[in-house]
Amino acid sequence: MADKPDLSLLAERALELIPNNSVVGLGTGSAATAFIHALGARVKAGGLSVRGIPTSDVSDTLAKQLGIPIIKFEDVEHIDVCFDGADEVDPNGDLVKGWGGALLREKVVAGYAKKFVVLVGPEKLVPVLGTRDKVPVEVVPFALTPCIRHLTRMGFVVTPREKGDGLYITDNGNYILDCKTGPIRDPHGTDIAISAIPGVAGTGLFVKRAHVIMIQDGTNIDVRKGSAA
């Protein structure tokens, strides 16, 4: 397996987009982890005052360890800016997310943020969504079997995600179905169709969600508009 790219330079650059005294959405995954480390160092140095809303228990624990104050939605009216990675980014700036298992909370936090910034390496850029591998779909346990049947009828190859001797369980207590979709020519329509299946809690298709996409390739950082810009 190839080593994950070092996105520390990208994380440092992303800090420039954070207003002081703001509420920041903290994503999940390798890019988000690099960002949380950079943010924690800046907070510790006294250069930035923020409060964070994490998208997973893992990110929550890391942020607290690094001294980033954590709050809940009950404490604020909005999120100023959310930073997260992605598993695929197409030329329109639409995304596939959720390979790390936090897709539902990631979509909630991004959806309530005034600005959603995506941090990726060039390997995540694809000509069309569905190119690299899979689209995760989070489902409630009660509906696991009918959701598998429905997604299979839609033409997807569906595999329940496993961990250890059982199924992977999300922070929400749900399961994830990894769907091999092939190229997705209509991400918006596909997202609507999957989301309409009874028992589906969320999809890994993030359509018209990202405002800014930052791509680190070596020491070069390319900043692009996302599909929500």
- Residues with active-site annotation: 106
φ/ψ region of 199 (left if φ > 0, alpha if ψ in -120 to 50, else beta) reads left
Strand extents, DSSP E, 164-219: 166-167, 175-180, 200-203, 205-206, 212-217
Which three-class secondary structure state does DSSP give residue 22? Answer: strand
In whole angstroms, what is the distance from residue 115 CA to residue 148 CA? 34
What are the DSSP calls for 75-128, one per residue?
Answer: G-S-EEEEEE--SEE-TTS-EE--TTS-HHHHHHHHHTEEEEEEEE-GGGB-SS
Amino acid, single-letter form, for residue 92: N
In whole angstroms, what is the distance from residue 188 CA to residue 172 CA? 25
DSSP 180: E
CA dihedral 152, 158, 160, 162 (to 10 degrees): 170
